[in-house]
Structure 1
Amino acid sequence: MLSFQDIIQTLQRYWAEQGCLLWYPYHETVGAGTANPATTLRVLGPEPWKVAYLEPSFRPDDGRYGDNPNRLQMHHQFQVILKPIPENAQELYLGSLVALGIRLEANDVRFVEDNWESPALGAWGLGWEVWLNGMEVSQYTYFQQAGGRPLDPTALELTYGLERIAMALNGVESVWDLPVAAGLTYREVYHRAEVEHCVYNFEVADVDRLRELFRIAEGEADSCLQRGLVVPAHDQVLRCSHAFNQLDSRGAIGVTERAQFFARMRNLSRRVADAYRAQREEAGLPLLKNLPAPRTVCLPPLPQISAPRADLLLEIGVEELPADDVDAALAALGMAVEKLLLDSRLEHRGVRVLGTPRRLAVIASELATCQSDHLEELKGPPLKVARDAAGGWTKAALGFAARAGVDPQALRIESRDGAEYLFADARHVGRSAAEVLSAALPKLVDALPFKKSMRWLCTAVDGERASFDFSRPLRWVVCLLGEQVLPLEIAGVLSGRETRGLRDRGTPRLAIARPSDYEGVLREAGIEPDPAARERDIRAQIAELARGAGGVVRPEHLEALVGEVRQMVERPVAFLGRFEERFLSVPDAVLVTVMKSHQRYFPVTGPDGKLRPCFLGVRNAASGSMEQVVKGNEAVLRARFADASFFFENDCKQRLEEWSSRLSTLAVHEKLGSYAEKVQRLERLCSALASDLGVLQGGEERALLARAAQLAKADMVTRVVTEFSYLAGTMGAVYAARQGEAREVVEAIEDQYKPLPGSDVGPRSMYGLVLGLADRLDKLIGFFALGIRPTGAADPFALRRDALGILLALESRGARLSLRAALRAAGQLLPVPCAESAIEEAAQFVEKRLEVLARERGLRADAVDAAIAASGDDPVRCLEAMRTLAERVASPSWSSLLTAYARCKRIARKESAAPALAKGALREPAELALAAAYETTRAKLGGSAAFADVLEALAGLTAPIDAFFTAVMVMADDPSLRAARLGLVASIAALPDGHADLSRLEGF
C-alpha cells in the first residue's frame, strides 16, 4: 500500500531514471498539466525534451462540494513528456504501473480510444484513456499539434490521475479516505478548500465580473505579445481559460458561445506558440545537441523460394487501434491485397484478413511465387516513316524494335484510325513474388485509410519516414512467404517472423514458422485473431451470464456495443458486476447512458422490462483472477451512478420553470441573445409554423404547444444535461412528467431533437415536429443572418446536422412546408436584421442537404436534380417526386413519355410568356383531339395531384402528342392559330410544374 506522497515519489524516481528532468507545478491556475509551459511550449519546435512533474489541476465544473467519493474541482496530475517518442513508449508506461505495484496479470489494463483536444491551447492529439479495471487512471496522448501548429518531432504526453491510482492501490472507494502521508488523510488536507471552492464556483462567482476578467486577461496577453513577452502572455491565456471554466460552471456558456470563446483563446495560443518558436530559433535551438543520432535500416537480401506456390502472411503490429479503425482497416487491407495480387499477375487460392486491436493481418493462400509472363502490345511509328524507299526498316522502326525488345522481323503492320502503324508484342518475363511484394506491400500499408491519422517519428532522426502516418504507431511487422521472411521496411520497422503476445502475459515474442501456423500460435497464446469468432464468444458469454442473473441484454443494447467491444479485446472474458438497487431510482436513460457510453457495459433487463441491479463487462485477458477486476469495475460504476444520482436529485428540487429562469445567463451567440430570448422566439415561431402546416389549430392545442416551447430548453441548465449533453430533451421530458405536465408537452420536449443522428425515429406527434422545426429553423437562419456558414469540412455549429434534422423530421410526419416561408418567419423574430439573401442562402443550404440525402439513398442523380429544381422548397413533395421519377424512369414506356413531353417543353420554354390555352382557335383534328385529351386529364388531376398521377397522365397523352406534332405546324403563320397551339403545348409542358423539371433528366 502506497500513500499519495509515496506514489508521487515513486513516479518521480521512475521517470528520472528514464532521463526525465523533474519540473515543478506551475504558479498559475491550470485545468491540466498540459497547460504548464513545460508541456504546451516545450513540445513546440525541433528540440528534444523529456520532463516529469506534479500538477494540481482545477476544473470548477467537476466539483461536488466534497460529497462525491471521486469527483473534485481540484485534483492532482502527474505529467510526463517524451520528445521525440521512444519506440518502447507503451512498455515504459506499463513499467511505471508495475513500479507502483500494479500487477498486469491480476488487473485489466486497457488502452481505450481517446482523441484529445484543447481548443483553448490550439492543441490536439491521438491516443487513449488508460483504464485500470474500468477506471480511467491515465491519458496517453501523442501530441500532433500545439498552439495551432503541427509538431515535428511529435511528443508523447502521459497524464496520470493520481487520486484514482491511489484509490485503486489502497483499495478505498472514496478519495477522502486516502492516506496522503503518515497520519494524514486526503480529507484532513484538502476537504475544506474543496468545499469552499465549490461554493464560490457554483454560487458566488459573478458572471459579469468573470466575463470582464476574461476580457482583461485577453487584452493583457495581447499587450505582452506586442512586447515579445512569451511566458507572461501564456500566463494570461491561462487566466482566460480559467475564467471560461468558471463561467461554464455557472452555466453561463451556451453551445454556440462556447465556440466563440474557444476561437479567441485559440488565436492567442497560436500567437504565443509562434512567438515562442521564433524566440527559440533566435537563441539557436541549443537543445538540438541532445537529439538522438539519425537512424538507418538495412534490408537483407530477398529470399529464394524454390516451390511454385507458398502462403503469404503479412501482420502489421500496432499499438491499440480504435475499434472503428480495426474494422475499416481490415476491409481496406483485404481489398488492397486482392487488387495488388491481381494487378501483379500473382495467382492465389484466396485472401483472408484477421485482426485485433493490436494487429492487422492478411493471409494469401497458395500464392504463386513468380509472376506469369506477360505480353504487352506496343504501338510504334506510322508505316510511312518506318520503311525506306527500298522497303527496308528505317532507323525509327529499328529503334522501336530495340525498345520493345523484339527482333525487327517480329514487327507487324496494322491499320488504326485510318492509318497504318508498326506494332510489336513485348514479352515481360515475370518477376519473383518476393521482389514484387517487397516493393509493393509497404506502399499498400501506407495507403490504408483512417478517419484520423497521426505521426510519431522525427524528421531529424528518421528522415522521410517521419511523414508516414497511421491510426496508431506501428511497432512490429511479420511478413512470411512460405517459411522465409520477406524483408520489408515500414515506418522504420524491419519485418521478421516474431509477433507479440498479450500484455497481461508480459507481451512475449511469439515466433511464426510459416503462415499456416499463424492462427494456431496466437490461439495457443490466448489471442483470438478472428473478429467474428470473438463476437460469437462475447454473445455467448453475455447471454449465459445474463440468464444467470435472471434477465437478458436487450437487442438494442447488445447490438449498440458488441461490434465495438469485440475490437477492444484480443481475448474476451465476460464478467457480471452488481450495483445497489437504490440507484434504480435514477431514470433508465441516465443509467444506460453511463453503462454503455462511458463504460462499455451491457445493461441487464429483467422479465418485467425493468433494469436489474447488475451489468455485464468484458475483460481483455487469457487468464488470471477476476475478483479484483470485478471489484474495480463495480467501484467505478458505483461512483458514476452516485454522480448521476446526485445530479438527478438536485435537479428534481426545482421545477422546470425555475430552471428556465437561468437560461438568461446562457448565450446562444453574442448577437443572437440568450436561450431565454430564444425560448420566446420559439413560442412565437411554433404558432406560425403550426398555421403554415395547418395543424394544432384549436385553442387547447395551441396552449399545449406554447407550454412545450416555454419548457423546451429548461433542461439545458440542469446538472444531468450539463454532464450528459446528449440527454437534452430526454431529461426535460422526465422532469416535465414528474411535475405533472400534459402528455403532449412531455413528448414534445423529448421529440424536439428527433430524429437523432443515426436514427430514423421521428417525433411522435405534431407537437414535437413543430417544436423541433422551430428550434432548428431559428438556429439555422440566425447564423445565416450573421453571415456564418459551414465552409468545407468545418461546421462548428453543426448547421448541416440541423438542416438534415429539418428534412428527416418533415419526412417522418409527411408534413408539407415551404422552407423559404418558414425561414422568413423565423428570420423576422431574430434580434438582428435578416436579409432576403440570407433566407435564400439558407434555403439552398437545406436543399443541398436534401440532394446529399437522396444520393446517399441511391436515387438517380438526374432525378434528384430534376425534383429539387422544381420542388426543393417543399422537401416532402420533393422526396416524393424523386422516388416517383426513379421508379418511372425504369419502366419500358418511359422513353416514349419523355420524348413526347420534351417536344412540348422545348417549344414552350422558348417563349418568354406562353399564351393561355384557347381551344376555340384550333382547327385540325389532331390538335382538337390533343386539347380534348388535355382538358380531360387536367380535370381528373385536380389542383393537388400526386406526381405519380401526373406522370401517368402524361403517359396517356403520349399518343395524341405524337399525332399532334405529325399533323400540325405549331409556329403557324396565323398569329391567333400559332398562339392557340403554343398555349396547348405550354399547358401540357406545365403539368409537372411544382413536382420536377423533366428537362433536367437524362435523355431529354
Structure 2
Amino acid sequence: MSTILFELGCEELPPKSLKPLRDALKTSVIEQLTEANISFDSIKAFAAPRRLALQIQGISDKQPDRTEQKRGPAIKAAFDADGNPTRAAMGFAKGLGIEPSELITINTDKGDYVGYEQTIHGQATTELLPEIFQTALDDLPIAKRMRAGSSRNEFVRPVQWAVLMQDDGVIDATIQGHQTGQQTRGHRFHSPDYHTIEHANDYEALLSGLKVVADFDKRQVLIKNQVKTLADEVNADAIVPQALLDEVTALVDFPIALRADFEPRFLRVPQEALISTMQADQKYFCLTDKEGTLLPYFIFITNIESKDPQQIIEGNEKVVRPRLADAEFFFLQDQKQPLFVLTESLKTRVFQDQLGTIWEKSERIAKLAAFIATLLQEQGHDITVDDTVRAAILSKADLASSLVGEYPELQGIAGTYYARLDGESEAIAASIEEQYLPKFSGDVLPKTPIGICLALADRLDTLVGIFAIDQAPTGSKDPFSLRRSAIGILRILIEKQLPINLVALVEQAVKNYSDTDGHKIAKMGDTFTQVMGFLNSRYRAMYTEQGVSVDTIQAVQAIHPHMPLDFDQRIRAVQAFSALPQAEQLADSNKRVANILAKSEGKVADHVDADLLTESAEKDLYQAAQQAQTAVTPLLATADYTQVLQTLAQLDAPLAQFFANVMVNSDDEALKANRLALLQQVRALFLTVADISELQI
C-alpha cells in the first residue's frame, strides 16, 4: 500500500471552470480505479490557478489475480468411445496453447463440457496509472481545447509540467506531452522556481510553504473568514454569492483580503447597479448595513502578500471609481425625462417578430392584468384597476433606459427607482420590480396585489404567444423559459392562496391576442388547449421537486382540476390519505371498481334502487355510501379534501365485504345493473377529491 501523487501544472486555468474540472478529474479516476479493481483508502483532489492534482492514499500495488474459465465443446463431442480426445477437443486445447490432458470437466445444468481454468495475474498499479490519468484528462468537460506551440496535445490551457509519484519515487510516463517528474512550482511571484517533492505525502505541506494553498475548499474557507473579519470591523455584512466566491477562490493561490472604500456620493445610484458592476467586473465583495443598505466599502482578494497593502487598496479604489461613475452617469441621464416618456421607444422595439413590439406586449399585459385585478377585487384585495393598468403600461419602460442598457439584470429594478422619483404611488412603483418574480426555482414571489397581476399577466401573455406561433419548448430547448414561467404562475396562485381558475386566465390571454391587429392567433382553440396542457404538465415537475410521489400527482391530475390552489389542496389531502392504514386496501378496491365499470356494457345508471339490494353486504355498502355522501357534502363546499378522504376511509370494510360476498355480474340483469350503479356511486365519492385507484401504496 502506497501513496500516489499526480499534478498537472498549467498556465492560469479558467476560474469559472476550476472547481468543475477538479471534481470531474477526481470522479473519472475513482471510476477507472474501481473498474480496474484497484483498491485505495482515500483520494483527495487539489485545484489552484495553475494546477490540478490528486493524492491517492493507501492504494494497492497491483490488481488482484483472478481465475478465468474457458468452456469448450460438450464432453460427448470432445472424446470418442475409447476416451481419446477428438479433433474438437484438440482444436480447443491448441487454441489455448495447452495439451488436451490439461483440460477439465465443467458441469452445468445443460450438460458437461470440457474447459480450462487459467490464472490472470493482475497488472502493477504503476503500469495502469499513466493511462488512467491521461484518460481522465481527456474526458474533462472542456468546451474548447487549445494547443500550445508545436505540441499536438490539447488542453484547456498550456501545460508546463507534470508530476507522477509513488511515495518517494517517480513513475515514468508521458502525460499531456510532458515527461513526469517530481518537481513542482510554487506561487508565481513569491516562489516561482521549481521545487522537488521528496515524498508524495509532502505535497500539500510543501506548497503551503511556497505560498500556495492547494486545497480549493481550504482556500475558500480562508477567504470567507477574512471577509467576515473585515466586514465585522465596520459593523457590516458582506454580500458573498457562492458563484462569485468560487470564482475568486479559483483566481488566487494565497488569498489576502483587503478592505477599500468609495465616495459616498455614489450611494445615490441604485445599489443594485453598484453591486452588479463591482461583482461582475471587479470580483469585489460588497458590504451592507444590518438592514441590507449598501455601505461605501468593498472587500477584494489579492494574490500577493504585499509589504505595503495600502498601495493595493488605493489602486483598487482608483480602478472602481470610473465604473461607479459610469453607473451614476446612466442613472442621472435617465432622470432627464419621466419614465412614461421611455414607453414611446418601446413602439419600435420588437418583442418577437411574429408577436409585435414590446409596446404591444405592454398593452396586452395591461388588459390581462386589469382582468386579474378585477378578480382580486372580488376576493377582497386592496387593488384598483386604474393603478394596475398604469403599472402595466410602465412595466417595460425601463428596457429603454440607459441604465438597463448597460446593466440588463436591472430590468424592473431600475423602473421601480424611476417610478418613485417620478412620484408614482408605491403600489405602482414596487410592482414594476415584482413583475419578474420569481426569477428562479425557490425565489421569492411578488408581495403586492399589482405585482401579482403583472407577474401573472406577463408570463401568460408570453406562454400564449409563443405557443400560438408553434415555438413551444422541445426537449431541452426552452429559449423563452416557458417551463420556468409556467411554474411561476402555479406557485403564485398556490402560495398566494388565490382561488383563480387557469381556464379563465388562459382564455383571456388568447382573447387579447385575437383583439390585436396584425397579430391575431389563427388557431385560438388549439392554442388554448396546448397552453392548458403545458401548464398542467408542470405540476409533476413542481411537486416531485417537493418530494411528492408521482402516483399522488397522477391521482389528482386524473380528475383535471383547473384551479392551482384547489390542485394543491387535493395533493395535500391525498398525501394524508396515503398514510392511513386503510389506504392500501382502498386503493386496490378503487382499482377493482374502476376495472369493473370500464368493462361494463352500456350506460351505468346514476340511481341505486334500494329495493333490489338483496345481499346484506351490498345493503351495508349502500348504507355506508349514503352516510358518507351526507357527511362529505358540507366538507366539499369548504374544500376540506383531507377530511373528505378521512371520512371516505370508513368505506374500506363495507367495500371489502361487498367484493367478498357479492357477485356483481349476476345473471339477473336488474341486479347486475343495480350493483354497477352502487359501485359507480362509491367511485364518484372518491373522485370528488382524486382518483385513488392511481395510488401505488
Do they fold alike, i.e. is TM over 0.5?
yes
- Match of 2:326, SS state, is helix
- Match of 2:534, SS state, is helix
Residue number among 553, 556, 569 corresponding to 2:237 in the alignment: 553
Q: Distance in 2 between matches of 1:401 and 1:799?
A: 66
Identity %: 32
Could you tell me which runs of 5 or more consecutive residues in structure 2 were left unpaired when the two chains were aligned. Answer: 514-518
Q: Distance in 2 between matches of 1:679 and 1:903?
A: 53
Residue number among 317, 325, 345 corresponding to 1:662 in the alignment: 345
Moved more, 805-814 or 715-724: 805-814
Q: Distance in 2 between matches of 1:754 and 1:359?
A: 41
Match of residue 909 from structure 1: 598
What displacement does 1:642 show?
0.9
Q: Distance in 1 between matches of 2:616 and 2:643?
A: 27
What displacement does 1:433 show?
0.5
Match of residue 312 from structure 1: 4
Answer whether contact 2:2 2:167 (CA < 8 A) is retained: yes
- Match of 2:189, SS state, is helix
- Match of 2:164, SS state, is strand
Match of residue 373 from structure 1: 65
Trace 1:186-265 onto structure 2 (pairs within 5 A).
none
Cα deviation code 1:481-508 (max 9, x no counterpart): 2233334444444433333333335853
Instruction: From the superposition, tell whether residues 768 and 729 of structure 1 become closer, same or farther in structure 2 (CA, over 3 Å).
Output: same
Residue number among 222, 225, 235 corresponding to 1:537 in the alignment: 222
Answer whether contact 2:190 2:210 (CA < 8 A) is retained: no
Moved more, 807-816 or 687-696: 687-696
Match of residue 272 from structure 2: 589
What displacement does 1:866 show?
4.4
Instruction: From the superposition, tell whether residues 436 and 856 of structure 1 become closer, same or farther in structure 2 (CA, over 3 Å).
Output: farther
Instruction: From the superposition, tell whether residues 382 and 940 of structure 1 become closer, same or farther in structure 2 (CA, over 3 Å).
Output: farther
Match of residue 163 from structure 2: 478
Q: Does 1:719 align with 2:402?
A: yes
Residue identity in the other structure for 1:957: L
Q: Distance in 1 between matches of 2:564 and 2:108?
A: 56
Residue number among 661, 665, 690 corresponding to 1:971 in the alignment: 665
Moved more, 394-403 or 532-541: 394-403
What displacement does 1:697 show?
6.1
Q: Does 1:929 align with 2:607?
A: no
Q: Does 1:455 align with 2:111?
A: no
What displacement does 1:683 show?
1.6
Answer whether contact 1:383 1:422 (CA < 8 A) is retained: yes
Q: Distance in 2 between matches of 1:576 and 1:966?
A: 80
Cα deviation code 1:138-167 (max 9, x no counterpart): xxxxxxxxxxxxxxxxxxxxxxxxxxxxxx
Residue identity in the other structure for 1:974: D
Q: Distance in 2 between matches of 1:805 and 1:955?
A: 35
- Match of 1:763, SS state, is coil
Trace 1:480-879 onto structure 2 (pairs within 5 A).
480-505=165-190, 507-548=192-233, 550-554=234-238, 557=240, 561-606=244-289, 610-623=293-306, 625-690=308-373, 701-830=384-513, 831-835=519-523, 836-871=525-560, 873-878=562-567
- Match of 1:599, SS state, is coil
Q: Distance in 2 between matches of 1:917 and 1:400?
A: 79
Q: Distance in 2 between matches of 1:698 and 1:892?
A: 42
Residue number among 103, 106, 127 corresponding to 1:435 in the alignment: 127
- Match of 1:526, SS state, is coil
Cα deviation code 1:772-821 (max 9, x no counterpart): 01101101111111122333443333333323332333343243444444
- Match of 2:237, SS state, is coil
Q: Distance in 2 between matches of 1:558 and 1:929?
A: 64
Residue identity in the other structure for 1:704: D
Instruction: From the superposition, tell whether residues 983 and 690 of structure 1 become closer, same or farther in structure 2 (CA, over 3 Å).
Output: farther
Match of residue 338 from structure 1: 30
Answer whether contact 1:696 1:766 (CA < 8 A) is retained: no
Residue identity in the other structure for 1:523: S
Residue number among 326, 338, 346 corresponding to 2:18 in the alignment: 326
Could you tell me which runs of 5 or more consecutive residues in structure 1 were left unpaired when the two chains were aligned. Answer: 1-308
Answer whether contact 2:102 2:116 (CA < 8 A) is retained: no
Residue identity in the other structure for 1:725: P
- Match of 2:57, SS state, is strand
Q: Distance in 2 between matches of 1:938 and 1:422?
A: 74
Q: Distance in 2 between matches of 1:954 and 1:389?
A: 77
Instruction: From the superposition, tell whether residues 411 and 461 of structure 1 become closer, same or farther in structure 2 (CA, over 3 Å).
Output: farther
Moved more, 899-908 or 987-996: 987-996
Match of residue 897 from structure 1: 586
Q: Distance in 2 between matches of 1:839 and 1:488?
A: 64
Q: Distance in 2 between matches of 1:690 and 1:721?
A: 28
Match of residue 358 from structure 1: 50
Answer whether contact 2:29 2:132 (CA < 8 A) is retained: no
What displacement does 1:572 show?
0.8
Residue number among 107, 118, 126 corresponding to 1:414 in the alignment: 107
Q: Distance in 1 between matches of 2:406 and 2:271?
A: 16
Answer whether contact 1:827 1:834 (CA < 8 A) is retained: no
Q: Distance in 2 between matches of 1:590 and 1:673?
A: 30
- Match of 1:574, SS state, is strand
Q: Distance in 2 between matches of 1:594 and 1:431?
A: 56
- Match of 2:312, SS state, is helix
What displacement does 1:829 show?
0.8
Answer whether contact 1:691 1:697 (CA < 8 A) is retained: no
Moved more, 987-996 or 356-365: 987-996
Alignment length (residue pairs): 685
Q: Distance in 2 between matches of 1:336 and 1:953?
A: 55
Q: Does 1:982 align with 2:676?
A: yes
What displacement does 1:561 show?
3.7
Residue identity in the other structure for 1:715: D
What displacement does 1:731 show?
2.1
Moved more, 619-628 or 643-652: 619-628
What displacement does 1:558 show?
5.9
- Match of 1:311, SS state, is strand
Instruction: From the superposition, tell whether residues 610 and 967 of structure 1 become closer, same or farther in structure 2 (CA, over 3 Å).
Output: same
Answer whether contact 1:752 1:763 (CA < 8 A) is retained: yes
Instruction: From the superposition, tell whether residues 501 and 949 of structure 1 become closer, same or farther in structure 2 (CA, over 3 Å).
Output: same
Trace 1:90-109 onto structure 2 (pairs within 5 A).
none
Trace 1:372-391 onto structure 2 (pairs within 5 A).
372-376=64-68, 381=73, 385=77, 388-390=80-82
What displacement does 1:444 show?
2.2
Match of residue 516 from structure 2: none
Instruction: From the superposition, tell whether residues 646 and 759 of structure 1 become closer, same or farther in structure 2 (CA, over 3 Å).
Output: farther
Q: TM-score, normalised by structure 2?
A: 0.88
- Match of 2:251, SS state, is coil
Q: Distance in 1 between matches of 2:74 and 2:576?
A: 51
- Match of 1:503, SS state, is coil
Answer whether contact 1:666 1:674 (CA < 8 A) is retained: yes
Cα deviation code 1:274-318 (max 9, x no counterpart): xxxxxxxxxxxxxxxxxxxxxxxxxxxxxxxxxxx3211122334
- Match of 2:474, SS state, is coil
What displacement does 1:604 show?
2.0
What displacement does 1:749 show?
1.9
What displacement does 1:745 show?
2.3
